[in-house]
Structure 1
Amino acid sequence: MLKIMNVEKSYSRSKMFRLSMNPIVKDVSFECPVGKSIAIIGESGSGKSTLSKMVLGIEKPDKGSVTLNDQPMYKKKVRNHQISAVFQDYTSSLHPFQSVKELLLEVMCQCDNKSKTVMEARAIELLEEVGLSEVYMNKYPNMLSGGEAQRVAIARAICMNPKYILFDEAISSLDMSIQIQILDLLVNLRSKRQLSYIFITHDIQAATYLCEQLIIFKTGKIEEQIATKDLHLSVNAYTKALIEKQLSF
């Protein structure tokens, strides 16, 4: 069980004057059981990315705790191979001078002592699992479309068989038709692998398609937690405003 309990995080407004702190995440708590998917929905600047760094163990909270099976997530041995991530900017998350094969094998080598031949065969299986063929093994990121690059990023994220995957605005830079394809892929992977997703987004429609539970995030705080099936019953003014804003596009 992944638990976020009373988490707070602030950053200094100035490197010279650390007494002036800017609170980014404020007393946030939620849980994500294995096999469930949660969306964290908020507009730009709401603190979603800061929260994601703490969930991934990249940063420690100033207060509160982020734990996996009651162990602190900031410890590498706790999070190792248990959680992975797919980010919005695939151009920076995929090394431009590594082929797809090299990108996948680099991660596999961290958790697998099998021969290179066996790992290459496994890499091909992973590509096929995300809807790509063997011909992509020798391609480089600059040879891929946005959707293809995100499929490679997803293949890399699942190659360690994690329990959790965090998606940080992972489909927002893609065309609408590609977004739908990636969402369908994520639904299928989740069912097949019994994965849990933490889906960080500003897109309520994508969140409701993928997740059972929604967390509405505003200025570093949880405005509302609600089951996807009950979203139409929400009386929260901010939640309703987000829905109306998206429906108006």
Structure 2
Amino acid sequence: MDHDRLFHVMRRLALQAGERIMQIYDSPDFEVRAKADASPVTEADEAADALISEGLSEAFPSLPLVTEEQAESHDQDVSTFLIVDPLDGTKEFVQRRGDFTVNIAYVENCLPVRGVVYAPAKGRLFYTLPDGRSVEERGPFDLDTPGEQVPISVSVPDNRALMVVASKSHRDQATDDYIARYAVKDMKSAGSSLKFCLVATGEADLYPRLGRTMEWDTAAGDAVLRGAGGEVVRFDDHTPLTYGKPGFENPFFIAYAPGVLLVK
């Protein structure tokens, strides 16, 4: 893999998709439909998916592509592939709360090694550089020329006063009960893959997810977090979260800064 080319392609496509998403987000109205699993989908999801899929397929025609909005891509048995969630946090988008992201990742040998997470409504852009280190780019954003790239890294956590981030739209009692087992200084709520990025920047120490997610929801944020020194493990046995699982469905997981003393 040419990681320099991959970086430029993924960054550009994420920005282009974000621009298209914001055109729809800022319009007076947009259509919202329910998919087969009852989750919402909008014209922004579909427009961003078409743009990203076309760009990735043209740039890397031999790489398998898995994307949320194309059900036929979910039947693949792959360990090295590109994976896309063109609009993660559709509920946040529909409610115009801003916590939605464009997610593009490259998985190699079942691990997410490169990724880009772009939150267009918040003007935040996170990604892994060609060497695997993670940065946050400061805007304004140019499609072809990256701006200031600020290195990011996880916190050195204080287990007597942890900063925890949890889902804004998918919080449940099981998650609250688990968080209550830690000494928590403060709690944040965030939508979409931004939760991974808050751990990656040191704005949070711990993000537990005790609920259903798919690999396209997590791969890009997972890559950014790993590139910032963080870890993502299964909730049940604390082994690394891997990708390319049947149906691309994740188990419960924990994303955290090393140094957090995980409880079982």
TM class, shorter-length: under 0.3
Structure with the bigger percentage of helix? 1
TM-score, L = length of structure 2: 0.27
Higher RCO, 1 vs 2 (CA within 8 Å, ≥6 residues apart)? 1
Structure showing greater radius of gyration is 1
